[in-house]
Amino acid sequence: MSTGALVDDFGRTATDLRVSLTDRCNLRCSYCMPAEGLDWLPSEETLTDDEVVRLVRIGVERLGIREVRFTGGEPLVRRGLVDIVRRTTELRPRPETSLTTNALGLARTARALAEAGLDRVNVSLDTVRRDQFQEITRRDRLDDVVAGLEAAQAAGLGPVKVNAVLLRGVNDAHAPELLRWCIDKGYQLRFIEQMPLDAQHGWRRDTMVTAEEIFDALRGAFRLDPAEEPRGSAPAELFLVDGGPATVGVIASVTRPFCGDCDRVRLTADGQVRNCLFAREESDLRSSLRAGAADGEIAERWRAAMLTKRPGHGIDDLSFLQPTRPMSAIGG
Ligand code: SAM
Ligand code: SF4
């Protein structure tokens, strides 16, 4: 069997696979999608459940993938999700398997996902205020997210992590409140700097809320000390809150990029390998799959796709170009 890791030209090895299961979503977060939604991928272009599992299997068995995270769009809207998770956790070596979700409907499926072997969930929640939630996501669904989080915790899908994006003048003044709420519930909160990945191209470097501002806001309410564990390839810088054991993470993707330690590779819902969120090229594995290619050929194509990975995302460069696909279509 042909095996060999996914190594790029800069010596980085990808072991963490992000799989987008759909570009569709039931929220319309303003930093991600326009209010009217997007033109969804036609269903015939979307990988079938069997195709997804085959590519994940090739990644795990031949290319050294050790972690698989399902995302989207909203992965919970994909009908075959539980089965895809089950078949993924049956692979050997068994990959650590997790889900990034907005948690709508998670209250109903958390137990089945845990029984299918899912290890953890990351839930996106930017505020616990109903009006702000509605302003950001354009839907009045805060209660469903809260119920989904509780169900995930009860099903053992922990440690449950919460991802939050702060928007200036919307929810940025309430970062400490969100942290207090997460600590009280036993969730690990991580703030993510907003990146230029919205379909509307509304991101502006001069108005985004920076990690420095997030620290300042949190330090007004809590004592933060760097957690001892080294950051490694994990993008979040971790801090103990008021001496611990609670922690908070800040993912400074824009102002303190961690590209040098990147261990990720992405697969879009239509079967394209992207070696970075900000990649300008994709490599089409779906055509190879559907043309009857053997596992070894697909693995070779995937390995070759890593060689175009750039050293960094270059958001701060004058020549930076936002990718044509938005976050919801790439898989966040
Ligand atoms: N729908 C799921 C969710 O919201 O968790 C999964 C897909 S979503 C694209 C994955 C993550 O990307 C979410 O945590 C979301 O907050 C984050 N995200 C979306 N657009 C972003 C942006 N422009 N900058 C930073 N993070 C973003
Ligand atoms: Fe949907 Fe997630 Fe994008 Fe929000 S961030 S619109 S929940 S895909």
Domain count, the chain: 1
329 Cα to the center of ligand 2, angstroms = 10
Contact yes or no for 132/170 (Cβ under 8 A): yes
Q: Which residues pair with 101 in a beta bridge?
A: 123
Taking the alpha carbons of 291, 297, 301, 302 in that order, is the dihedral positive or negative?
positive
Q: Where in the sequence is the domain holding 200, given as residue range(s)?
A: 6-330
Angle at 187 between CA 125 and CA 52, to 5 degrees: 65
77 Cα to the center of ligand 1, angstroms = 15
Pocket of ligand 2 (CB under 6 A): 25, 27-29, 32-33, 72-74, 102, 124, 328
The CA–CA distances, whole Å, from 319 to 61, 314, 315, 316, 323 equal 38, 8, 9, 9, 12
Query: Using a 6 Å cutoff on CB, does residue 102 contact ligand 1?
Result: yes
For strand 120-124 and strand 96-101, is the pairing parallel, antiparallel, or unpaired? parallel
Domain membership flag for residue 275: yes
Domain membership flag for residue 170: yes
Query: Using a 6 Å cutoff on CB, does residue 197 contact ligand 1?
Result: yes
The model's pLDDT over 189-236, given as tens digits with 9 standing for 90+, comes to 999 999 988 888 889 888 899 999 999 999 999 999 999 766 666 778
Ligand 1 atom 12: residue of nearest CA = 332
The model's pLDDT over 261-274, given as tens digits with 9 standing for 90+, comes to 999 999 999 999 99
User: CATH number for the domain including 289?
Assistant: 3.20.20.70
Question: pTM for the whole thing?
Answer: 0.96
32 Cα to the center of ligand 2, angstroms = 6
pLDDT of residue 315: 84
Burial of 135 (0-12, 13-18, 19+ CB in 10 A): middle
d(CA 12, CA 180): 37
Domain membership flag for residue 95: yes
Hey, which of 207, 327, 328 would you mutate to test ligand 1's pocket, going by the most ligand atoms within 8 Å of its Cβ? Answer: 327
Domain membership flag for residue 1: no
The per-type count for the chain, helices as H runs and strands as E runs, is 10, 14
Hey, which of 18, 27, 38, 100 would you mutate to test ligand 1's pocket, going by the most ligand atoms within 8 Å of its Cβ? Answer: 100
From first to last of its 332 residues, what are the pLDDT tens digits of the chain?
556 899 999 999 999 999 999 999 999 999 999 999 999 999 999 999 999 999 999 999 999 999 999 999 999 999 999 999 999 999 999 999 999 999 999 999 999 999 999 999 999 999 999 999 999 999 999 999 999 999 999 999 999 999 999 999 999 999 999 999 999 999 999 999 999 888 888 898 888 999 999 999 999 999 999 997 666 667 789 999 999 999 999 999 899 888 889 999 999 999 999 988 888 888 999 999 999 999 999 999 999 999 988 888 888 777 787 887 778 877 77
Domain membership flag for residue 260: yes
Domain membership flag for residue 146: yes
Ligand 1 atom 7: residue of nearest CA = 72
